[in-house]
Amino acid sequence: MKFSGVGVFKHNFKNPNQITQFEERVVMTETPSYEEAEKFILEDFGEYATDGVEFINVYEIKEMYPEDGPVLEIASTMKVFIGTDEEYIEKYWSDQKPLTCDDFGWQHVWRNYGGGKSGCYNCQEIRDGELWKNA
């Protein structure tokens, strides 16, 4: 039997200006039982949680059913939500990063975005130049 697991992780950073990020990590395993799948998946989550990454012990494990066709569902999450489609997308589906740190009084924490550009870890802002070298 195949199982998928979704676990929630918190990324803490040594740089106090870099805002904490949450990750929903999806894994898959093949075992004879749910209990064994849970054991393996939780072990994996524990091994993944190092160097500032914390498993916050929120997870979901589901059996994957064989499907005919070119697509296989690995994992899904269901949320109860009262509101419009747009409100749902804004809350759960958008990049989850603000457009700019300036709107919140945060400091930009620059990284190499490639192509001579810098991207901020905390927001969606991208600027020309290698700003991460000045940090």
Residue range 74-125, pLDDT digits in tens: 777 777 788 888 888 777 776 678 889 999 999 999 999 999 999 999 998 9
How distant, in Å, are the alpha carbons of 27, 28, 108 from that of 70?
A: 19, 18, 42
* Nearest by Cα to 28 from 7, 9, 51, 53: 7
Beta strand pairing call for 2-11 and 53-64: antiparallel
> What size, in residues, is the chain?
135
Q: What is the pTM of this model?
A: 0.70
| Averaged pLDDT, 5-33 | 91
Higher pLDDT, 37 or 72: 37
Mean pLDDT computed over every residue of the chain: 89
